[in-house]
């Protein structure tokens, strides 16, 4: 078994859940913000949708400047966000499958411009910045849905909307 296999399996499994959450986006509420400092529903959803492909692309290099790995322009519809997510997961799986065990053990510098955000083994980078970061934003998105009175799908078990 290659070191990347558990990451690929988790990405595939969790992508199904993320897709369910993204599938609940109400088209007429993409501009909704629960607070002035918050991202809009559409911006947060697109950020979440682009994480797998962007982080998988960053994992291909030893020095990844997050500012150089920009997300494509945000789509205008919920379905286009879901479609972008699906394409990004496919792309991420292809990119990640190329990483050797040796590469996964090497450190990656993750930065924003000149500011280093992390210097850690590539495998830990994928766990933290791709998977855990995605779960964090998926959780935020589920709160936005609740605030908008949109039924929240099951994530790690039933919700109040899906017993």
Burial environment of residue 131 by CB neighbours within 10 A (0 to 12, 13 to 18, 19 or more): middle
Structure confidence by residue, pLDDT tens digits, 19-78:
999 999 999 999 999 999 999 999 999 999 999 999 999 999 999 999 999 999 999 999
131 CA to centre of own chain: 7
CA atoms of 66 and 60, how far apart (whole Å): 13
Q: Are 65 and 112 in contact (CB under 8 A)?
A: yes
CATH topology of domain 5-25+48-147: 1.20.120
Check: pTM over 0.75? Answer yes or no. yes
What is the overall mean pLDDT for the chain? 97
Give me the pLDDT at residue 93, please.
98
Q: Are 104 and 121 in contact (CB under 8 A)?
A: yes
């Amino acid at each position: 078994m290659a070191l990347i296999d558990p990451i690929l399996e988790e990405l595939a499994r969790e992508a199904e859940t993320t897709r369910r959450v993204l599938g609940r986006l109400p088209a007429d509420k993409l501009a909704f913000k629960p607070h002035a400092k918050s991202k809009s529903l559409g911006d947060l959803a697109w950020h979440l949708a682009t994480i797998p492909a962007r982080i998988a692309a960053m994992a291909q290099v030893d020095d990844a400047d997050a500012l150089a790995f920009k997300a494509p322009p945000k789509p205008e519809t919920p379905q286009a966000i879901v479609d972008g997510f699906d394409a990004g997961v496919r792309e991420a799986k292809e990119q990640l499958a190329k990483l050797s065990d040796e590469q996964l053990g090497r450190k990656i510098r993750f930065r924003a411009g000149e500011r280093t955000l992390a210097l850690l083994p590539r495998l830990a980078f994928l766990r933290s910045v791709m998977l855990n970061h995605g779960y964090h934003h998926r959780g935020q998105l589920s709160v936005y849905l609740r605030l908008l009175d949109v039924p929240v799908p099951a994530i790690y078990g039933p919700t109040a909307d899906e017993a």
